[in-house]
Amino acid sequence: MAGVSQIALFVFMALLLAAAFSDLLTMRIPNALPVALALLFLPVALAVGLDAASVAQHYAAGVGVLALCFALFAMNWIGGGDAKLAAAIAVWTGPFMPLLEWAILATILGGVLTVLILLVRRMPLPVALAGQAWIARLHDTKTGVPYGIALSGAALAMAPSLAIFLR
């Protein structure tokens, strides 16, 4: 089953990179990416021999994160795409320590990303870069932070050590 795990890891990482770059360039994470991540977990879990209870725990972690993140979305603290992406990633981490480790790492990366963006926004945007719509949008103080970068970055950092990919 190592082949299945390696292919799944590659696809998982590719979807995370697509989400991060989409968020960076457009400040949006297409619904198809977190949906694909969440749905892809089931066939991979079955192929590597996870039992039904473990699969249910993984999806329960995703539902729990989705509920928490939609509360944050309702308070306008995060975007809807970030909430969906976080929930899909939680399905892959599963419950307990891996989920907590990912959340802590994502929080740290998100804090660093936010501080960097806020610092860059204090500087004038060079004319050569102002013509790039995605850079101008990222530099705009009225625009949020593409937190999908931090969510994906934390998951990418942890991916090779996630239990699903070690089976």
Residues 12 and 48: beta-carbon distance below 8 Å: no
* pLDDT recorded at residue 167: 85
Residue 23 has pLDDT above 90, yes or no: yes
- Distance, CA of 166 to CA of 48 (rounded, Å): 9
Q: Which residues contact 21 (CB under 8 A, 6 or more apart)?
A: none
* pLDDT recorded at residue 147: 97
Mean pLDDT over each residue of the chain, to the nearest integer: 96
Residue 1 has pLDDT above 60, yes or no: no
The average pLDDT across 154-167 equals 95
Q: State whether the Cα torsion 32-73-10-47 is positive or negative.
A: negative
R_g of the chain computed on alpha carbons: 17
- Distance, CA of 167 to CA of 164 (rounded, Å): 6
- Distance, CA of 89 to CA of 35 (rounded, Å): 10
Q: How confident is the model at residue 37 (pLDDT cuts 50, 70, 90)?
A: very high
The average pLDDT across 14-35 equals 98
Which pLDDT tens digit goes with each residue over 62-86? 999 999 999 999 999 999 999 999 9
Which pLDDT tens digit goes with each residue over 100-140? 999 999 999 999 999 999 999 999 999 889 889 999 999 99
| Percent residues over pLDDT 70 in the chain | 99
Residues 47 and 26: beta-carbon distance below 8 Å: no
SS (H, E, C) the chain: CHHHHHHHHHHHHHHHHHHHHHHHHHCCCCCHHHHHHHHHHHHHHHHCCCCHHHHHHHHHHHHHHHHHHHHHHHCCCCCHHHHHHHHHHHHHHCCCHHHHHHHHHHHHHHHHHHHHHHHHHCCCCCHHHHCCHHHHHHHCCCCCCCCHHHHHHHHHHHHHHCHHHCC
Q: How confident is the model at residue 149 (pLDDT cuts 50, 70, 90)?
A: very high
